[in-house]
Structure 1
């Protein structure tokens, strides 16, 4: 069953993208969406079959020579590499991606650019698969940049607004403003990711300088045998961290990620749960053989993750947009993953990546169902009591909230507990931050749940409807995964066998700290109390109708003013410089234009003689001859006198 070639994984969605973007007229109605779903489903089937046929030894398939004996003085080929890490990532990308595609059939069913939307979704999935399957850093960078391009296209998908052709003038103007905001969000994501990409490129240059290869399997072997300067390997890993920070929205390049929810809700689910933002965690985990040699850079990774987790949680506390709460939550949960891989607890970080894909995709798609039912309303203050109108979506949303809050037996309990245990054994300060973030996470997700689903209905739609079957099926599957997914890695002190750790440990080393069973039980109790305490606090605040108040309210609403600071330090000065240069350009253009016009004026007089008519030239010749003869006659008479 493992005989299917690896190139089929990205090939199917690439073909779907090519057909939908080049021949859209061949796919009327929802046929384009069905083709997009079929392409990703085919890749998922390949991923499952390769997983089932997998052995302990990785598979390395080289397709063709890419840069033979050129600038790198090495035969760099296009090849795909499948081990336990890339197999797991392929299953996540294609599995969650397929569910999001199916959901989109209904959610985007009335959009005029329906086929184009699925073309971009297919392109996104294909690029992400190239990224995780690449056998070299340059090929990984191709997927890396492709994912960035796909995110730009999808975040700004409604670049003209959703009602740009409306007959009502006010509605059309509001749509234009929405389109501008969406376009700005897409540009912001694209530009901030270019900063991270520069770090990735510098990291690649240093890797080749140090080890003479960029092929990942070869590099893993040479990293063990070739001794290099410690400062050089630390700097290399720090550059790779810059790339990971940009792609995964970590501090200080985090402000693009909350704005990415400007795209359609399925895009938010795809970016925040299954694809783009996980690329940074994957890069560091894939480069574990370098980070194991760079303790200083690894410490930076862990602290960037811990501080980002805290920043995201504080920013999510008092947001009002149903999707923006989840977006800041993604920032925070990615911080957990970075903290784990920075502490060399790679398995714990990747396991949280898996469970987060389950419950965050579920929460975003549930939020999309609410938005859909309320005719695009996204303010949680205009919701409330939605459980009466949307009982199915209410139940699955509750499953997602319990999972992300770390309540047993839901998946987030197992993955978050593993990260906190690793932090306790390596860095107690990060453990305290992680435990505090767990409490804040439960509170803001409890707030999200109570404002949307409990209390009195505050909306304007007369009778909201629940999700249809096409949307319910993905929601139900994700709810089941969010509930039971943690059972894949039950720890030994709870009677399990660490099945996930055992599987991933064949590709990535497991750096564990010995912790007494009694200590593990105590840490688990603290984590559960943090989750339950946060939910209870949210319930009490909801009962007191003071969820929007508190000392952190304004600070949280403004996301700790990080965007404002960046605007003052970078954006506003850049715009000022651009405006000044534009004025100078206009001034110079005006001055040079005047000089040009004055210089051209005499020439304009002469051009009138160049009419192209023979008779005009004949008259000119006669007049010239007469003038010459007259001058000669006058000169002769004057001389004779």
Structure 2
């Protein structure tokens, strides 16, 4: 299978999408779900086979010429932009994450969405999502990457708003009544994600245009070569990198375009796992890592990347402290963890950022799917205040959830311990302030995830449903993800712990390794501080749980309202826009009234005449008779008048 072409990787799930959306009746019951899962599994197996054929030189497969003889750039070079896919250590890793974790989410969804009226359509959208994400990470040029970028945006719109008419399960028309409050909320969330991502996409396009104007190509390999050989204005490159950052910020939910990502929880839980763990939100991190040859020469833009990431990590952590929706706690956690990744790649610690992307895919997919199992077990309840004590009813899901919590909190030996420590070490070497922020975020992360764990799993059950363990189709993916979240960190054991930085060595063939050399004693101290932050955060959460007053006061209110960022946007953007739209609507109605009045007056005489056009012959005869009588009477009166 080493010779299997790369285009099959996105083609197979795209074929699954086409079959499920065009001929759904051929796949009754859960057949469509298994077909969609099988397509992603096939792509995963191809990716595994191609992984073992990796070399130190990237492999590019060109399919056809897309844009021949593109316009000349400033340097007088004509280029033929082709549709081609690149296979190297970075694209291979992303492909394995997308198809591997994506397959587990597909399998889980077969049971989770089993009674949904639009079951087959759901899997069509999932397959489309995976196909577009694979195009994004395999593309050998920015325009082709942008095709996948937009495709992922479209798929997210379809999946976030999947329950656009409310959450109807029975397979009949009555399950989708006229849109209710829940349906309206879901639709608004989908629109919000779509619109905010268009803002980011504008930045991506402007970055591409500027790069082409400067270097005359948008092929990533050619661009990497010309950056080294062509004279250019550094400020132009800085601006292009800042534009690309805007695109990355939109897709990965970073400040200030972060508010769409928590609202994306309106979609079914498997969608949350797919978007927040394995695919869409990691695209921004991938874009910066893939464009490392640009950011290495743009220190100002890199600093912006790092600080946007650091501040977003802090914002997400503070917003998660006092949420009560079981999924929104995890959503703001994703915002925060993505901030860690941005901080790392902004500091040129690309391997640390991408390694955290990998481990985050494991433990966050696990946590979201575990949350879905809980929601399923308690009859769609999502308020953690209505849970508690579920460990007695769902022992397996409880154990795997605990593993996910320990991983995200950075507790040894779980995966987050290795990946987060690498980011904090890079921050310590490059920026003391970012290190302090990162360490503080580690403390807050342990607190809000400890709070999540204690409220859901410990104490007495506070709800009214009858909880039960999920079926094997849902628990099997949870078990696999729990194993990966536990053991995945050993892919990159640092040297001071006796390891050889295997992941750094692997990815270092395509991205530069950070040139930081920290003494072993310092690394030990940093590790102790990071672990202490995690342990203290968990103990703090336990103490607050025992007191029963989790984050009361102003901090709690601010956290519940996500630091009022949505309120600020509503007051500064939405409310003025609605006021302006209302004024224009009133003016439009007034103008319509005036124009309609003039038109009505002009049409009135015609209306009188149309009353005569009845189509009845006798009416026309009477009209003729009356007309003749009127004429005769007129002449008679005139004659009499003349005689007088």
Q: Given the two structures, how large is their TM-score scaled by the length of structure 2?
A: 0.94
In the TM superposition, residue 590 of structure 1 has moved relative to its aligned partner by 1.6
1-structure distance, mates of 2:616, 2:54: 85
1-structure distance, mates of 2:428, 2:589: 61
Q: Does 1:301 align with 2:305?
A: yes
In the TM superposition, residue 459 of structure 1 has moved relative to its aligned partner by 1.3
In the other structure, the counterpart of 1:481 is 484
1-structure distance, mates of 2:176, 2:152: 32
Aligned pairs (5 A) from 1:78-477: 78-163=83-168, 176-462=180-466, 464-477=467-480
2-structure distance, mates of 1:507, 1:356: 21
In the other structure, the counterpart of 1:526 is 529
Aligned pairs (5 A) from 1:585-596: 585-596=588-599
After superposition, what is the alpha-carbon deviation per residue over 1:228-261, rounded to whole angstroms, capped at 9, x for unaligned?
A: 1111111100000000000000000001101111
- Match of 2:391, SS state, is helix
2-structure distance, mates of 1:173, 1:627: 64
In the TM superposition, residue 618 of structure 1 has moved relative to its aligned partner by 9.1
In the TM superposition, residue 639 of structure 1 has moved relative to its aligned partner by 10
CA contact (8 A) 2:313 2:441 kept: yes
In the TM superposition, residue 225 of structure 1 has moved relative to its aligned partner by 1.0
CA contact (8 A) 1:318 1:553 kept: yes
CA contact (8 A) 2:115 2:170 kept: no
RMSD between aligned alpha carbons?
Answer: 2.5
In the TM superposition, residue 553 of structure 1 has moved relative to its aligned partner by 1.1
- Match of 2:66, SS state, is strand
In the other structure, the counterpart of 2:75 is none
- Match of 2:470, SS state, is coil
In the TM superposition, residue 445 of structure 1 has moved relative to its aligned partner by 0.5
In the other structure, the counterpart of 2:555 is 552
In the other structure, the counterpart of 1:497 is 500
Does 576-585 or 364-373 show the bigger shift?
576-585
CA contact (8 A) 2:289 2:345 kept: yes
- Match of 2:180, SS state, is helix
CA contact (8 A) 1:213 1:219 kept: yes
Identify if the C-alpha distance between structure 1 residues 479 and 436 changes in structure 2 by more than 3 Å, giving closer, same or farther: same
In the other structure, the counterpart of 1:61 is 61
Does 577-586 or 359-368 show the bigger shift?
577-586
After superposition, what is the alpha-carbon deviation per residue over 1:492-535, rounded to whole angstroms, capped at 9, x for unaligned?
A: 11111111111111111112211111111111111111111111
Aligned pairs (5 A) from 1:626-637: none
CA contact (8 A) 2:425 2:523 kept: yes
2-structure distance, mates of 1:20, 1:541: 49
CA contact (8 A) 2:326 2:452 kept: yes
2-structure distance, mates of 1:621, 1:461: 83
2-structure distance, mates of 1:50, 1:615: 89
After superposition, what is the alpha-carbon deviation per residue over 1:123-159, rounded to whole angstroms, capped at 9, x for unaligned?
A: 1101101111111111111111111111111111111
Identify if the C-alpha distance between structure 1 residues 46 and 173 changes in structure 2 by more than 3 Å, giving closer, same or farther: closer
Q: Give unmatched runs, 5+ long, in structure 1.
A: none
2-structure distance, mates of 1:356, 1:166: 36
CA contact (8 A) 2:116 2:168 kept: no
How many corresponding residue pairs?
638
2-structure distance, mates of 1:43, 1:613: 75
- Match of 1:64, SS state, is strand
1-structure distance, mates of 2:591, 2:540: 63
In the TM superposition, residue 617 of structure 1 has moved relative to its aligned partner by 8.1
1-structure distance, mates of 2:89, 2:604: 76
Identify if the C-alpha distance between structure 1 residues 422 and 161 changes in structure 2 by more than 3 Å, giving closer, same or farther: same
CA contact (8 A) 1:162 1:175 kept: no
1-structure distance, mates of 2:178, 2:471: 29
In the TM superposition, residue 74 of structure 1 has moved relative to its aligned partner by 3.4
CA contact (8 A) 2:116 2:171 kept: no
CA contact (8 A) 1:164 1:176 kept: no
- Match of 2:548, SS state, is coil
Aligned pairs (5 A) from 1:23-42: 23-42=23-42
CA contact (8 A) 1:302 1:339 kept: yes
CA contact (8 A) 1:164 1:175 kept: no
In the TM superposition, residue 448 of structure 1 has moved relative to its aligned partner by 0.5
In the TM superposition, residue 580 of structure 1 has moved relative to its aligned partner by 1.3
CA contact (8 A) 2:105 2:274 kept: yes
2-structure distance, mates of 1:632, 1:587: 50
Q: Does 1:562 align with 2:565?
A: yes
After superposition, what is the alpha-carbon deviation per residue over 1:545-596, rounded to whole angstroms, capped at 9, x for unaligned?
A: 2224255211111111111111111111111111111111112112211111
